[in-house]
Amino acid sequence: MSQPPVSSLVNHVVIVGGGSAGWLTAGVIAADHPALTVTLVESPDVAPIGVGEGTWPSMRDTLHRLGVSESAFFRECDAAFKQGSRFNGWRSGGGAEDYYFHPFVLPQGFGEADLVESWQRDVPGVPFADLVSFQPHLCVHGRAPKQPATPEFAAVANYGYHLDAGKFGVFLRKHCLEKLGVRYVPDHVTAVNSHDNGDIASLQTREHGALAGDLFIDCTGMQSLLLGRHYGVPLLHRKDILFNDSALAVQVPYERDDSPIASQTTSTAQRAGWIWDIGLPTRRGIGHVYSSAHTSDEQAEADLRAYIGKDDIPAPRKLTFQPGYREQFWHRNVVAIGLSAGFIEPLEASALALVEMSAAMVSDDLPATREAMDIVARRFNDAFTYRWERVIEFLKLHYVLSGRTDPRSTSDYWHDNRRAETIPARLQELLALWRHRPPSRLDFNRIEEVFPSASWQYVLYGMGFQPDRERITRRGSTGSAGGYFREAAELTRKMLRALPSNRELIDHIRLHGLQKI
């Protein structure tokens, strides 16, 4: 093959693989660059693997960026509102009182007053999130985050979504083809053709011949056809930090058609992992994530069935994964997005969020020429190495702070998670700092952090972390924390009176839709 000139223009983006990652990426690039040719090739022989049923509030901005109707999204993707996560049994496994919330709204007065010191001094018996935020109370009472008159994508309380990942991919494909002009090639890639300089020149397909492109985006899932298999970019394994490598997933119908729909993802700790519970309008998605080194598949399934409490459930679907991420995400003229870039575990639903961030950065910084691509690639690799490491540290925080000892277990899962050699050095340093002050912007100072410092506070204090009260500093503390606590309580009272239930609002959307912005 001939070698392309380094100044050749980037006019054609080829995305390999569909599903949520492929079609989200295609949609973002096509919506932002209507003059660009965007082609997505997807093998009809390979079923897409969903990268999760939970999203962050960022998905609202992404869907709006694509020009999607939120009402149509709810109707076609079996979607529901998500306002955060609830963690059961993570602190000690000590029964009904062992829970906390990681809500999506910032604490009242965040950055304006020393909420943590006042909480510790004045009302330590109240869970931190319950005191500083109205949103945990909305979740407990199953409330929606907005009213029927609130326009599409607008919010009374910050929210993301729960969704059917399979239906979501189909929904995005339809929108990309009908509204955004994406070219669709349903075909199987049989070979990769290279330029003399090592760039990919084209993809050889079974039915459509060679598909040439300037930039190729690998959304082929865990097989990582282009970045991993063709270029041999290795996966940096992180199982020494986060042990979970297996999951059993099942779909469970509601007892009644009008059963309440949970307003949060619920994560319940188990002897060697945890169980997710996600409420959609027509079913619950439930799965057990666990470490194969600490329990057997048979025991994991028994624990899953015990959690569900029903004998007549389908056989769970088994998933396995190697926790880690690619050494590079952008190599030559290939960038990996989604599972081809890596996967850790579904705790805190970071998978789709990383897809959104990746697609946005590729589109926002899309190189005009091949020469500029190397500059953009270096910046992309730096940004996402940082982001993956912050995700790993944030997830590890949940395990490090747990005091669980499970007498039912024959493994040392929870103890092993607390061993110092499994804790990243940066996280150890932060925990030492946080003995004397709360997490703040000083610790996470990039413009687009994956998890803001408020999220670290919610998990840190929800898990029972105790600062050294004698030496807590008061840097930048202004205002009265007590006033913000009362403000959160008053907002709770108002919103509980004014907001419908999650199911009531979803039923309204399905029948009448929402007002467009």
Please give the average per-residue pLDDT across 153-169, as a whole number: 97
Please give the average per-residue pLDDT across 465-481, as a whole number: 67
Instruction: Output the pLDDT for position 468.
Output: 85
Question: Which of the four pLDDT bands, split at 50, 70 and 90, describes residue 480?
Answer: confident
Instruction: Output the pLDDT for position 6.
Output: 55
- Consult the annotation and say whether 310 binds a ligand: no
Residue 216: left if φ>0, alpha if ψ -120 to 50, beta else—which one?
Answer: beta
Instruction: Output the pLDDT for position 96.
Output: 85
Domain extents in the chain: 12-50+165-237+323-392, 246-320
- Consult the annotation and say whether 487 binds a ligand: no
pLDDT-above-70 percentage for the chain: 95
- Consult the annotation and say whether 21 binds a ligand: yes
From residue 477, alpha-carbon distances to 5, 118, 438 in Å are: 57, 11, 11
CA angle 47, 50, 52 (to 5 degrees): 170
| Among 45-54, 218-227, 476-485, the least confident range | 45-54
Cβ atoms of 484 and 109 closer than 8 Å: yes
From residue 346, alpha-carbon distances to 48, 96, 445, 473 in Å are: 17, 24, 25, 35
What would the two tokens of residue 490 be? 């008053």
- Consult the annotation and say whether 339 binds a ligand: yes
Instruction: Output the pLDDT for position 137.
Output: 98
Whether the per-residue pLDDT at 3 is higher than 80: the answer is no
Cβ atoms of 496 and 143 closer than 8 Å: yes
- Consult the annotation and say whether 315 binds a ligand: no
Which residues belong to the active site?
A: 82
Residue 145: left if φ>0, alpha if ψ -120 to 50, beta else—which one?
Answer: alpha
Written as one letter, the residue type at 188 is H
Instruction: Output the pLDDT for position 406.
Output: 75
Distance CA 203, CA 134 (A): 52
Whether the per-residue pLDDT at 459 is higher than 70: the answer is yes
Whether the per-residue pLDDT at 51 is higher than 60: the answer is no
From residue 100, alpha-carbon distances to 9, 312, 469 in Å are: 52, 31, 22
Whether the per-residue pLDDT at 4 is higher than 90: the answer is no
What would the two tokens of residue 81 be? 């509102």
Specify the pairing of strand 342-343 against strand 324-326.
antiparallel
- Consult the annotation and say whether 19 binds a ligand: yes
Distance CA 4, CA 295 (A): 52
Instruction: Output the pLDDT for position 476.
Output: 46
Cβ atoms of 337 and 21 closer than 8 Å: yes
Helix 350-364 with 19-32: angle, nearest 10 deg: 30
What would the two tokens of residue 442 be? 């000083």
What does the pLDDT look like over 94-140, one tens digit per residue? 788 999 999 999 999 999 999 999 999 899 999 999 999 999 999 99
The values of phi and psi at residue 497, to 5°, are -75, -35
Superfamily of domain 12-50+165-237+323-392: FAD/NAD(P)-binding domain (3.50.50.60)
Whether the per-residue pLDDT at 1 is higher than 90: the answer is no
- Consult the annotation and say whether 389 binds a ligand: no
Question: Which of the four pLDDT bands, split at 50, 70 and 90, describes residue 475?
Answer: very low
Cβ atoms of 210 and 204 closer than 8 Å: yes
277-304 as b/e, with b when 16 or more CB fall inside 10 Å? bbbbbeebbbbbbbbeebbeeebbbebb
What does the pLDDT look like over 58-77, one tens digit per residue? 999 999 999 999 999 999 99
Please give the average per-residue pLDDT across 425-432, as a whole number: 98
What does the pLDDT look like over 242-251, one tens digit per residue? 999 999 999 9
- Consult the annotation and say whether 84 binds a ligand: no
DSSP annotation of 369 reads B
What does the pLDDT look like over 347-404, one tens digit per residue? 999 999 999 999 999 999 999 999 999 999 999 999 999 999 999 999 999 999 999 9
Instruction: Output the pLDDT for position 380.
Output: 98
Distance CA 147, CA 124 (A): 33
Question: Which of the four pLDDT bands, split at 50, 70 and 90, describes residue 310?
Answer: confident
Euclidean distance between the first and the last CA atom of the chain, given in angstroms as a whole number: 50
Please give the average per-residue pLDDT across 268-280, as a whole number: 97
3-state helix, strand, coil in the chain (%, to 5): 35, 20, 45
From residue 362, alpha-carbon distances to 51, 66, 118, 485, 495 in Å are: 19, 15, 43, 41, 39
Provide the mean pLDDT of the chain.
Answer: 94
Closest C-alpha among 245, 205, 247, 240 to residue 225: 205
Distance CA 437, CA 465 (A): 12
Closest C-alpha among 297, 179, 209 to residue 245: 297
Distance CA 494, CA 474 (A): 32
